[in-house]
Structure formats: structure tokens, C-alpha cells
Chains A and B, each alone.
Chain A
């Protein structure tokens, strides 16, 4: 079993209205020193495999095919933990 943790965010070149709104809200709250806010999605996948390389390949395929829209989004595999080679 492997546990994959993935972050999906809008590409840097794409305006993130949610992030912008949060940044503005921080300002209104008097919390300064934040330069930028980006909002994303976080996925946790439990994979039924004992092969690390296979798990990673699988995760990348899932991201490319479904979890991420490459026109606006990018992803980062932040961890892949589990037992196996």
C-alpha cells in the first residue's frame, strides 16, 4: 500500500480570484506581510500496490488524465509513502 499526497494549484500565470480575495481579507484584518496567496486542492490517494515506481507512474497518470486540467492547473506530488520497493 502506498499513500500519495498531491497538491493541485492554478498555474502561476493564471489569475487566482480566490487567492486574491483572501489576500485582500488579510489586509482588512490588519494582517500584513503576506505577499501572495494561491489556493489549491489537496488529494490523498491510497494505492493498492507494493511497487514504488509503479505507484508513482500510476499517480502521474491519474493526475494527467483526471485530477488536473493542464490548461490552467499544475500539480505537485508532495509525498508518496508506504511499504514496498
Chain B
């Protein structure tokens, strides 16, 4: 039996449990756990499942608000009411560690996992997005990560028939060896048909459906809660292999089942597999649950109960059927060539009982596992590096002599350049609802049968968060909301994926706390509650911790699709305006990092009142139909935004002639490439000029008429001048050329 003999202090430590945690287990059980029970506790009390290190801080995030149907943490994903009898169910989740070890399968199963979170609730997934971070493409390892992750996302999402409509990709040394793969899924469900993961009705049968259980991903949840070391490379068995075809069958069968009255509860087996799905459904329903692992379909022989309970094989669901209606459940799965196997039933009391051929092998209070993990307040300390990075003497930064060259270098920077190489591999048009193709500020999806459309954006600037976690957290929310708002949509709520280093390190925990604080403040101001998400700690490689990267997925609603505002220039002769003032801010900018090699200074400050005013402006401008395009200014500032407005649409050029209007004695590099927040480049028909200006003034927003759309050149008078085609070629080829042609 070897290591499965029993519970030794080594076994406790080997499961990542501390001495105090073990004492807590002893007092909850009133006895010593056996090996299976120890394994069950270890995965349920891992950071991944219990949020033991983060929960106290996460409580600061606003979770209440108008239209909230399912609050954060209550179910597998949050839900928002959007009228017309419909609800949106959405969530973002990380799959960073598996993707570092095996990029293709790690990313693929990340997509599979987030899809299950959504259809578990009876919602039809309608879009996927991915927020990705890699090391620079100059490194062979980063190229391998990048190509593998993109191919893995394409493999899974395309097969499922759910369009991957956007997201973001950034490259920075900080992510070398520890890429971030954050996948977002959004689904739509009729309000009355939402399925819950709450067990009830003693004697109701518990079914297991989907792929057979193997040893894959054994202990994956505890794996995700450890720092990556050289040995993780050898840790291959901890990576699961995905089967999107099986998931597609599960999706259709589960949605069909959710429409019947035979379903009591449904929960996918994600992290911590069978363990998590059984004890969480029981804990939510305040009831007990009993299963027999001998009945669980298996792919491998000789598996012991410990392995069956902890396996993270993909594409598996737990379904609880209403007594007397089991046949309906079995028939639906059979229709989809799936076999629903009864493995247990809802039990009285509050215990999760696990049998192996009738012999009791584990017996633990479901609530103890799901809700009573210890909660920690970790030590925090402001990191010492901030003293250094905070110093930025603008006087010592030379202003470039040739701004056209500077712009070309920025357009060639992979983080700024076209991501066409990525999204051409994703089926972004299936379902025939994709109105804005990838590359827009936000994805826009119509809802058939209504006039409405959903806008979604993912955002986070890791460098900002590294230099000032509080402001960075605030900006992540503000920028995501702005990207949604500029389409004309009203931001409704957000999901977040908080990627950080080791929380046991006081400086990392300080970053985490500050980021959440900043996010929280912004989310409150925009009335966009947090509906869920996940926390991914231990994102460290031997080179150190990643930048703190709180990825925000903001969701908004556009009441009338016809009022949508595209991101890019549409028509020759349209006037160009800049909304918002430009300040002398180059700290933390892509310009400073790329051109001057400095990741320093303080990121721009975000004034939440101004930002909120800007969002209101667009909500009024959209139905008034006075704008032809609106594009948010972010990395690379005005010059890059101007180029993108040209590239993304009809490749029309533009001439900016009134820079002095917005200049007001700031450095020219800050004017052209600075990243001052709350600014948007808009264009519109000259006949709406007065209306646009008046509306901006009504909301107290500075507005500058700076130029006109037209021609084949990008011109910022006296400063920048180049052919659209030349700029476009640089921007489009930046990523493919670093991958060596096709990049296969």
C-alpha cells in the first residue's frame, strides 16, 4: 500500500495542510481522518476551493446591485437580470498553472471548465473571451506557451460552437515561465429555467454523467495552489486532457434537462472533482449526500477511493434527479449517447458519506468541507521596490526627435500590435450573433428575438498594478467599463480573475489587498457589482512573481442594437474629437517601457467622477446617433489610438491638425503617447458637431475638435506622418514575424 497506509505527519504536510489546519480537522471530525478523508480535506481547503487566504479581502468588493439574480459565491457563476425574461450568467476563471506545464491541454481544459460553469446553470453559452499574458516572444519558451495556448483555446471553443469573440494578449518578462490564461464565458438563460447546484429531497438519486474517471489531474487543485518549480515540468500527470466532443454532448443534454421538471440540482466536476461537487451541493442545500465510488465509471484499473474522489478528469457532471422522474433524466442523456449512472442519493443529516462497494470510506460534514476552511489574514507589507520604481525624473527622459519612428516602434510591439494571428484561429462568428469582430474595444453580441445586444470587455494592466496596485486595480475596472461604455452599452456588472504571486509573502499580499481596494472603489462608483470570478495565487516562476494582474471582465447591455457605436473610423470627412484632458503622464506607459526601457514612475491617475461622466455621455450619445465611432485611448496613447481607428475599419487615414488645442504646456511625448485615463477618440458627421460638443459640456467633459477622417495617410501635423498601408503592415506583421512566418 505504500504511501496510502495512513495519516502520518509527512502525509499531512505532503497534502499542503499546516499543523493548525490538521488540528482543526481533528476537532471537526472528533477523530483522526483516514487517508481518503485527508485527501478530501486537502483539496477542499486548498486556496483554489476555499479562498482561505483571500476571502476576508474579497468581502470588500461590492456584490449587491440592481438586477443581481445570483450573487457572487452562491452558485457556479453569478447571474444578472437583463429584462425580456432573460438573465446573463457569466464568469472568468484562470487555468495558469496547467497552461504553464502543457499549454495546449491546459488552455483547452480551461475553456472546458468555464463553459461547464455556465451551462451547469442551465444557460446557453453564447461567447468566450480570453485574457492572456506571456513572456516576450523573443524567448522560445514563451513562443511555445503562446502558440500552444492559442491552439488549445481554438481546439476546444471551436468544437463547442461557442464563438471566441475577443479578449487581450500582453507580453512582458514578468510572465515568462508563468503565463496567464484567464477564460471568460457568458451564457443566456430564461429566468425560470435557471438550474441550481443545491441538493434537496432525501432519497433523490445522484447521477454521474460524462467521461469516465482516470488518474488525470490528480490533486490539481492543490497543484494550482503551489508555486511552479523546476519539478513542475516533471509533474505532467497533473494536467488533464480535454474532450470537447464529450463536452458538447453534455452541454446539449444538460440544457435539455434544465428545461424539464426532473432536475433538482446540477454541478460540474471541476477542481477537486467528485469531492467538490458532492460536498458543495450538499452544503448549499443544508443536507447530506451519500455516494458509492465503486459505481463511478473508470478509465483506469486499480483506482482506490482516494484517487476516484480527487481525480480531475474533465467533462463530468453530477446531476440530482427528482424522485419518480429518473427516467426523464436517463432518457435525455441516452438520446445524446451519454450514460447517466446512479452513484448515490441525497441523505438526511449533513454528512458527505463515501462508500466503496458498500463499505464506508469517508464521512465528513459537508459544511465543514465547503464552508469551514480556516480563513487567514495574511501579513502585508508595502514592497521595497516601490521606493525605486516610484522615482521618475521626467527631466532625464529625452523627448524623441522623430515621433513617426516612435509610433512605428510602438506599432511593432506585440502587446500593441494586431492580434489577428490569434483570433483568426478562433471561430468568432459561429452562432451568427457576433456584431463587433475581435479587435473592437468590446465584443458585441446580439440577442436574437430582442433588440438588445451584450457588450463585454476584459482588461487589466499588470504594469500599472505593479507600480501602484491601488490605482492599477481602479484603472482595470475603469478601463473595462469604458470599453463597454464607448459602444453605447451600459456597464452592468463584472467578474474578476485575480492573478497574483505567493500570498504568504507580505509584499504580494499587500499588492493583492491594494488592488482589491482600488477595484472595489471603482466598481462601487460605476454601480457594477462583482458577480463572481476566481483567485489565482502562487503565480511565480524561479524568476519571481508575476505582475499583480487583476483581470476584469465587464458586461454591459445595449438596449437597441441599432444604436451601437463601432470603435473605428467609418467615413471620409467625419470630424475627429478627443474627449478628456491629457496630462503630463508617462509613468508606467508602454512608451516609457519600450522606447526608454523604463518600467517606472506612477501610472496615470484615474478620476472616477470624470470617468463616470464619460460613460453617461456615451449612453446618451448612442441613442441620439450622433457618433460614427468611439475608441478608448490606452497603451500607446493618442498616436496608437489614431492608428487603430484607421486599421480596424475601412483603413481610412486621418489628419490631426489642432494638437495645440489640447496641449496646454505638456511634453509632446506625453501628448502623443501618454496614457492619461478617461480619454476617448470619437468621430462623427460634421452636421452633429454642435450636438456632440453640447453633450460633452453637459457632462463636464473636455472636448477638443482635433481633425478629420480621410486620405491614405496618418498625420498629426508637424509631428507624425506616415502611409496607412506602411503602418498597417508593421502592426499586422509584428506577431507573425516573431513566430517565423506562419508560426507553426
Q: Is the CB of A28 within 8 A of B740?
A: yes
A18 to B700, CA, bound (A): 59
* 0 or 1 for each of A18-51: is its CB under 8 Å from B? (1 = yes): 0001000000100000000000000000000000
A28 to B740, CA, bound (A): 10
CB closest residue in chain A, given B744: A21
CB closest residue in chain A, given B741: A24
Task: Give me the 3 closest cross-chain CB pairs, A-B, nearest first.
Answer: A21-B744, A28-B740, A21-B742
A21 to B741, CA, bound (A): 11
CB closest residue in chain B, given A25: B744
A21 to B743, CA, bound (A): 10
A28 surroundings in chain B (CB, below 8 A):
740
B744 surroundings in chain A (CB, below 8 A):
21
A82 to B93, CA, bound (A): 49
3 A–B contacts from the bound complex (CB under 8 Å): A21-B742, A21-B744, A28-B740
B742 surroundings in chain A (CB, below 8 A):
21
A28 to B741, CA, bound (A): 12
A21 to B744, CA, bound (A): 8
Which residues B699-744 have CB closer than 8 A to chain A?
Answer: 740, 742, 744
User: Which bucket holds chain B's interface residue count?
Assistant: under 10
A28 to B742, CA, bound (A): 14
Which residues A1-24 have CB closer than 8 A to chain B?
Answer: 21
A28 to B140, CA, bound (A): 13
A62 to B744, CA, bound (A): 33
Name the distance in Å between B363's Cβ and chain A's nearest Cβ.
Answer: 41
A21 surroundings in chain B (CB, below 8 A):
742, 744
CB closest residue in chain A, given B742: A21
* 0 or 1 for each of B324-341: is its CB under 8 Å from A? (1 = yes): 000000000000000000
Name the distance in Å between A40's Cβ and chain B's nearest Cβ.
Answer: 18
A68 to B742, CA, bound (A): 29
A28 to B743, CA, bound (A): 13
Name the distance in Å between B144's Cβ and chain A's nearest Cβ.
Answer: 13
A21 to B740, CA, bound (A): 12
CB closest residue in chain B, given A17: B744
Name the distance in Å between B577's Cβ and chain A's nearest Cβ.
Answer: 48
Name the distance in Å between B155's Cβ and chain A's nearest Cβ.
Answer: 16
A21 to B742, CA, bound (A): 10
A2 to B382, CA, bound (A): 68
Name the distance in Å between A16's Cβ and chain B's nearest Cβ.
Answer: 13
Name the distance in Å between B743's Cβ and chain A's nearest Cβ.
Answer: 11
Name the distance in Å between A30's Cβ and chain B's nearest Cβ.
Answer: 14
Name the distance in Å between A75's Cβ and chain B's nearest Cβ.
Answer: 24
CB closest residue in chain B, given A21: B744
A28 to B744, CA, bound (A): 13
Name the distance in Å between B151's Cβ and chain A's nearest Cβ.
Answer: 13
Name the distance in Å between B326's Cβ and chain A's nearest Cβ.
Answer: 34
Name the distance in Å between B98's Cβ and chain A's nearest Cβ.
Answer: 25
Name the distance in Å between B502's Cβ and chain A's nearest Cβ.
Answer: 36
B740 surroundings in chain A (CB, below 8 A):
28
CB closest residue in chain B, given A22: B744
* 0 or 1 for each of B294-334: is its CB under 8 Å from A? (1 = yes): 00000000000000000000000000000000000000000
A62 to B742, CA, bound (A): 37
A28 to B143, CA, bound (A): 15
Name the distance in Å between A26's Cβ and chain B's nearest Cβ.
Answer: 13
Name the distance in Å between A24's Cβ and chain B's nearest Cβ.
Answer: 9
A16 to B740, CA, bound (A): 20
A56 to B744, CA, bound (A): 39
Name the distance in Å between A25's Cβ and chain B's nearest Cβ.
Answer: 8
Name the distance in Å between A32's Cβ and chain B's nearest Cβ.
Answer: 18
Name the distance in Å between A15's Cβ and chain B's nearest Cβ.
Answer: 15
Which residues B531-579 have CB closer than 8 A to chain A?
Answer: none
Which residues B395-419 have CB closer than 8 A to chain A?
Answer: none
A61 to B742, CA, bound (A): 39
Name the distance in Å between A48's Cβ and chain B's nearest Cβ.
Answer: 19
* 0 or 1 for each of B217-259: is its CB under 8 Å from A? (1 = yes): 0000000000000000000000000000000000000000000
A21 to B739, CA, bound (A): 14
A49 to B284, CA, bound (A): 53
A16 to B414, CA, bound (A): 31
Name the distance in Å between A50's Cβ and chain B's nearest Cβ.
Answer: 25
Name the distance in Å between A73's Cβ and chain B's nearest Cβ.
Answer: 22
Name the distance in Å between B530's Cβ and chain A's nearest Cβ.
Answer: 45
Name the distance in Å between B138's Cβ and chain A's nearest Cβ.
Answer: 16
CB closest residue in chain A, given B740: A28
